[in-house]
Amino acid sequence: MWDHVKLSLQSSMGRAMESLARLLPGILAFIVALLLFLFIGWILAWIVRRILAALGFDERMGRSAPTMAEWSPRLTPSQLVGRVVFWCFFTAGVMVGVSAFEAGSSENVVSGWILGYVPHIVGAAVLLLIGNMLARYVSRSVLIAGVNLNLSYARLLSMGVRWMILVLTAAMVLDHLQLGGDIVELGFGILFGGIVLALALAVGLGSRDLVSRSLEREASRVAEEQQPERVHHF
């Protein structure tokens, strides 16, 4: 009996080693393809940055599209383009690597599934990037504007805006990755709907006194404003 057990174990180990041996060339092909594309992407990104610098791309973008520099101030436009080129080649390297894996290991199912899913991953990554940039920019804008308007709750407002944008982004990313299905949509709808309803109740019911006090203050401020200003900044 122990001989049978030993034989079964040896045969299953043999099959496992055989499967691994079949996969190894594919994995090696994947790594080689990825490294090759990484190298090409790095070279091309460098060349693109040099060409754009020679063409004065940063100065022209600053004149015609200052928004780009405002959204991502630490990177110049040419650096941004260089990074986009590099990551495009990285993505291409992954896809070619998966094809090479398929060719090397005769596993068609994996590559078909991965190749079909890569655009979703890319789209989700782009959404995540844009969502994060937007959340950071808008929350900082709200914070600074709130402080300059002397709102004591400026930081709270800024955090609320940032988290709303991040939650919205997360829901869009999960939807794009086709993860969670209806649960994500329902959950997001309930969450956002709940927040909006709570705000509406708070403003409608809780701020009656605040609104009337605010109106009284405005009315008395009109009388105060008729006094001449004593400090002139300009």
Partner 1 sequence: MAGIEFSEETREHAKRIGSADIVVGVAGPVAPDELRARAETVVGLLGPSYASLRLILAWPSEEAGAPVGSLTGDQPTALTFFPFSWPGQAAGEFWEGVSAQQRAVLALAAQLNARACIVLGPDLAALHAHPLQLFAYAVLERQCGLVMPVYNAGRYDGLLNSGILAPLSRALYGRRLRYPLAFDFAASGAMCARLAGLESHQNNHGGNSLLWPATVAATQSAQTTVGQIRLDVHHQTASSGLDLSRVLTQIVGSLFQEMEACAAHWQRVRGSQPVPVWGAAPGEPPDAQPVDTRPMVDSFLLGSRNLDEVWRLVLPPNTLLDLRRLSRVAPEEFRMPNELWAGIVYDFALAYRLRTLSRAHLLGALTPLYLGWVASYIREVSALSHADAEQRLEQLSRVWEEKKPYLLSRWRWPDRFNP
222 binds partner 1 per the rule CB under 8 A: no
Write out the E strands in the chain: none
Q: How far is the CB of 141 from partner 1 (least distance, A)?
A: 7
Separation between Cα atoms, residue 121 and residue 124, nearest integer Å: 5
CB 47 within 8 Å of CB 55: no
From the centroid of its chain, how far is CA 123? 10
Given 63, 109, 182, 223, the residue binding partner 1 (CB under 8 A): 63
Q: How far is the CB of 161 from partner 1 (least distance, A)?
A: 14
Interface positions, 75-114, toward partner 1 (CB under 8 A): none
218 binds partner 1 per the rule CB under 8 A: no
Given 5, 150, 182, 219, the residue binding partner 1 (CB under 8 A): 150
Give the DSSP letter string of 61-72: HHHH-HHHHHHS
Report helix angle 77-105 to 2-54, nearest 10. 150
Interface positions, 152-211, toward partner 1 (CB under 8 A): 152, 154-155
Separation between Cα atoms, residue 213 and residue 114, nearest integer Å: 61
Q: Which is nearer to partner 1, 141 or 214 (CB)?
A: 141
CA distances (Å), origin 116, targets 111, 113, 171, 173? 8, 5, 21, 17
141 binds partner 1 per the rule CB under 8 A: yes
| Size of residue set near partner 1 by CB under 8 A | 30
147 binds partner 1 per the rule CB under 8 A: yes
Q: Which is nearer to partner 1, 2 or 234 (CB)?
A: 234
Given 66, 119, 181, 189, the residue binding partner 1 (CB under 8 A): 66
Q: How far is the CB of 145 from partner 1 (least distance, A)?
A: 7
Given 57, 87, 137, 192, the residue binding partner 1 (CB under 8 A): 137
226 binds partner 1 per the rule CB under 8 A: no
SS3 138: helix
CB 123 within 8 Å of CB 42: no
Which range of residues in 38-46, 124-132, 149-157, 191-199 is near partner 1 by CB under 8 A?
149-157
Separation between Cα atoms, residue 203 and residue 206, nearest integer Å: 6
Picking from 172, 169, 164, 161, the residue whose alpha carbon sits closest to that of residue 131 is 169
Interacting residues toward partner 1 by CB under 8 A = 59, 62-64, 66, 69-71, 73-74, 137, 140-141, 143-148, 150, 152, 154-155, 225, 229-234
